[in-house]
């Protein structure tokens, strides 16, 4: 330690033993609940071993801590997106066109539970869920209606469907072809990562190894035929379930590395090109500094691990693209309008962390499918932060903060340790099958819930500053005839299509699934003949089987 640091250490101890101790004796510090322990004060001493060029560098250069492009938001504000979908394809298309007209550039499609689980809308097993929390997409005809008036040359298609992502993108590509739009000009962000389904979302269908095959089929096809398609790793779900920021970032990076390694084993996928098209879909909650530091730490850790393990020629492979949603789990049904403030904080945290795409929740999501008023408010919150707050005027405005830089170091180190724990146990597939990772997330969620219940973690309107309210909110009203409408749609489809051609295409798909080749061309053929999601999933269920989770250890 040089003389200046020694002098500072002495002055700090003097301050702690004098002014701080005397003041704290009369005004004790609050019991502050944070995931990463926070000190009263941060000074240059906390960064005594830091090396600017090694740890931070410059934006657009390795290790990308300060951003993946040299000018970040000074050149281009992040693309804005709202996750939307409900009812029929026509209903969802109207909402997306409304959002696009008001400033969205990404079309984030929320599919309903039957679609995600591979059931048709007229299947009695799922009739209570049809069109409820997403749009009902049972066939190419629905996808054609969804995309009919969407300018595919201007809009990026996103979505959260995992298990059925390959059939869904088969339908997207066929719908584009039928519109006369070249597939190689399509822009999208697919979610081939199914690992999180086994941890929390629960919309898994097939055993992990078969889901992995479908995911890599999409990557392999996309890199050759849809060069503007990116591939989303989803840690959003586990953060929403109660994971820590460390587990959120570590899961995302560990899963991406798992997919890269599996792609390398396949031998037909360029790992560097794949890595360059991966995006990390995290959740951003209201602790502004933890979330901003998490994004900065993820970029640095990803760059280092990819460089060490693959030394890619493509520098883009080391750029960690982070495209979060704001956290729905922190929203309250009580005093719902105050969620507007929470969402704005989360957007700000994402922007300060240098995220690439930001998709906010809506203030009424704890009550209902978001209304037009609510989604517009979230979009306006993004626009105000982007254009009025000054946060986009310079690159990485939090850099140099003793607190933020120390927090970034701590989170990166903890994420690296968590990834090592996963890999020591055999990797992502092994810790999912054993139930270990789910147990770790459940433990974190339990500790958070305890903190909420005993008041150490404050949630305004829920456990503090509560009020009696008698407020009537505008509520989304689902079409009472929706299920009947969807049954009629499918009945008409099956009457009008060439059912012999459908059966033949499904049988060809079955034989292909029993082999090892890429299934995308067979799915596109089935889609062209208007085979349904349920019929396609039934083929896969017959060939691959269904996943049965291991019992949880208490």
298-349 pLDDT, tens digit each: 999 999 999 999 999 999 999 999 999 999 999 999 999 999 999 999 999 9
Q: Are 319 and 276 in contact (CB under 8 A)?
A: yes
Question: What was the pLDDT predicted at 475?
Answer: 82
Average pLDDT of the residues in 208-222: 96
Given a cut of 70, whether residue 206 has pLDDT beyond it is yes
Q: Which of 145-154, 228-237, 473-482, 538-547 has the lowest mean pLDDT?
A: 473-482
Q: Are 191 and 234 in contact (CB under 8 A)?
A: yes
In the block, tokens 């691990």 appear at 305
Residues 94 and 237 placed together within one structural domain of the fold: yes
Given a cut of 50, whether residue 17 has pLDDT beyond it is yes
> Within a domain: residue 471?
no
Q: What is the DSSP letter of 79?
A: P
Given a cut of 90, whether residue 202 has pLDDT beyond it is no
**Band of residue 554 on the pLDDT scale cut at 50, 70, 90:** very low
Residues 82 and 159 placed together within one structural domain of the fold: yes
Q: Which of 80, 163, 3 is nearest to 387 (CA)?
A: 80
Enter the tokens of residue 292: 């901003």
Q: Are 140 and 89 in contact (CB under 8 A)?
A: no
Q: Report the largest interatomic distance among the alpha carbons of the chain, rounded to a whole angstrom.
A: 87
CA distances from 141 to 146, 489, 497 (A): 9, 9, 11
> Within a domain: residue 34?
no
Question: What was the pLDDT predicted at 61?
Answer: 97
**Band of residue 521 on the pLDDT scale cut at 50, 70, 90:** very high
Residues 411 and 525 placed together within one structural domain of the fold: no
Question: What was the pLDDT predicted at 317?
Answer: 98
> Within a domain: residue 15?
no
> Within a domain: residue 463?
no
CA distances from 41 to 16, 27, 34, 167, 261 (A): 10, 16, 15, 53, 42
> Within a domain: residue 26?
no
d(CA 87, CA 479): 7
Residues 96 and 214 placed together within one structural domain of the fold: yes
SS3 of 496, please?
A: helix
- Tally of structural domains, the chain: 2
Average pLDDT of the residues in 78-85: 89
Given a cut of 70, whether residue 43 has pLDDT beyond it is yes
Question: What was the pLDDT predicted at 2?
Answer: 85
Is the pLDDT higher at 195 or at 64? Answer: 64
Percent of the chain scored above 70 by pLDDT? Answer: 99
Question: What was the pLDDT predicted at 342?
Answer: 98
Residues 112 and 167 placed together within one structural domain of the fold: yes
Residues 132 and 279 placed together within one structural domain of the fold: yes
Q: 529 lies in which domain range?
A: 484-544
Which of 408, 436, 452 is where one domain is finished? 452
Residues constituting the chain? 554
- What is the pTM (predicted TM-score) of this model? 0.94
Given a cut of 90, whether residue 478 has pLDDT beyond it is no
Given a cut of 80, whether residue 546 has pLDDT beyond it is yes
Percent of the chain scored above 90 by pLDDT? Answer: 89
H-helix or E-strand containing 156?
strand 156-159
Residues 398 and 499 placed together within one structural domain of the fold: no
pLDDT tens digits along 133-191: 899 999 999 999 999 999 999 999 998 888 999 999 999 999 999 999 999 999 999 99
Average pLDDT of the residues in 15-31: 95
Residues 437 and 493 placed together within one structural domain of the fold: no
Question: What was the pLDDT predicted at 526?
Answer: 98
Residues 537 and 392 placed together within one structural domain of the fold: no
d(CA 205, CA 161): 12
Q: Which of 369, 371, 490 is nearest to 126 (CA)?
A: 490
Which of 452, 474, 501 is where one domain is finished? 452
Residues 288 and 210 placed together within one structural domain of the fold: yes
**Band of residue 552 on the pLDDT scale cut at 50, 70, 90:** low
> Within a domain: residue 427?
yes
Q: CB-based contacts of 414: which residues, under 8 Å, 6+ apart?
A: 36, 246, 250
Residues 338 and 423 placed together within one structural domain of the fold: yes
SS3 of 24, please?
A: helix
Question: What was the pLDDT predicted at 84?
Answer: 86
Q: Which of 516, 506, 499 is nearest to 537 (CA)?
A: 506
Question: What was the pLDDT predicted at 381?
Answer: 97
Question: What was the pLDDT predicted at 229?
Answer: 97
Which of 431, 452, 473 is where one domain is finished? 452
Domain holding 354: CATH number?
3.20.20.240
Residues 378 and 234 placed together within one structural domain of the fold: yes
Question: What was the pLDDT predicted at 551?
Answer: 66
């Amino acid at each position: 330690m040089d003389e200046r640091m020694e002098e500072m250490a002495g002055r700090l101890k003097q301050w702690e033993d004098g002014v701080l101790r005397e003041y704290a004796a009369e005004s004790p510090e609050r019991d502050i609940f944070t995931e990463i322990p926070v000190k009263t004060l941060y000074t240059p001493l906390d960064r005594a071993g830091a090396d600017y060029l090694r740890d931070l560098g410059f934006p657009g250069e390795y290790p990308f801590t300060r951003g993946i492009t040299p000018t970040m938001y000074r050149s281009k504000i992040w693309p804005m997106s709202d996750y939307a979908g409900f009812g029929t394809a026509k209903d969802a298309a109207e909402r997306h066109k409304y959002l696009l007209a008001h400033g969205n550039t990404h079309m984030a499609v929320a599919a309903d539970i039957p679609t995600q689980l591979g059931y048709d809308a007229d299947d009695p097993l799922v009739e209570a869920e049809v069109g409820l929390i997403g749009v009902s997409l049972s066939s190419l005809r629905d996808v054609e209606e969804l995309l009919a008036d969407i300018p595919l040359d201007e809009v990026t298609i996103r979505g959260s469907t995992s298990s059925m992502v390959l059939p869904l993108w088969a339908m997207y590509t066929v719908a584009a072809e039928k519109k006369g739009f070249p597939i190689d000009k399509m822009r999208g962000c697919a979610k081939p990562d199914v690992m999180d389904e086994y941890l929390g979302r629960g919309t898994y269908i097939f055993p992990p190894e078969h889901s992995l095959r479908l995911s890599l089929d999409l990557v392999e096809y996309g890199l050759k035929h849809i060069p503007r398609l990116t591939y989303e790793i989803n840690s959003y779900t586990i953060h929403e379930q109660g994971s820590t920021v460390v587990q959120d970032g570590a899961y995302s990076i560990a899963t991406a590395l798992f997919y890269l390694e599996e792609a390398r084993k396949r031998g037909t996928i360029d790992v560097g090109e794949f890595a360059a098209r991966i995006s990390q879909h995290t959740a951003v909650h209201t602790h502004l500094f933890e979330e901003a530091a998490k994004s900065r730490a993820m970029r640095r850790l990803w760059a280092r691990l990819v460089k060490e393990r693959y030394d890619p020629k493509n520098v883009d492979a080391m750029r960690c693209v982070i495209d979060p949603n704001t956290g729905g789990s922190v929203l309250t049904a009580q005093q719902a309008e105050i969620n507007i403030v929470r969402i704005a904080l989360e957007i700000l945290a994402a922007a300060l962390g240098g995220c690439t795409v930001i998709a906010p929740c809506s203030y009424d999501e704890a009550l209902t499918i978001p209304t037009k008023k609510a989604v517009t408010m979230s979009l306006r919150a993004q626009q105000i932060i982007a254009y009025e707050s000054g946060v986009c005027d310079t690159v990485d405005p939090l850099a140099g903060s003793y607190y933020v830089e120390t927090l970034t170091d701590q989170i990166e180190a903890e994420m690296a340790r968590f990834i090592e724990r996963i890999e020591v146990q055999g990797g992502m597939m092994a810790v999912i099958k054993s139930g270990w990772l789910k147990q770790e997330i459940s433990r974190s969620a339990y500790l958070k819930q305890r903190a909420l219940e005993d008041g150490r973690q404050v949630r305004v309107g829920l456990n503090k500053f509560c009020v009696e309210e008698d407020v009537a909110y505008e509520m989304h009203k689902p079409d009472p005839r929706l299920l009947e409408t969807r049954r009629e749609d499918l009945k008409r489809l099956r009457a009008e299509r060439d059912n012999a051609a459908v059966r033949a295409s499904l049988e060809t798909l079955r034989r292909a699934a029993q082999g090892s080749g890429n299934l995308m061309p067979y799915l596109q053929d089935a889609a062209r003949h208007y085979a349904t999601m349920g019929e396609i999933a039934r083929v896969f269920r017959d060939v691959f089987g269904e996943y049965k989770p291991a019992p949880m250890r208490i």
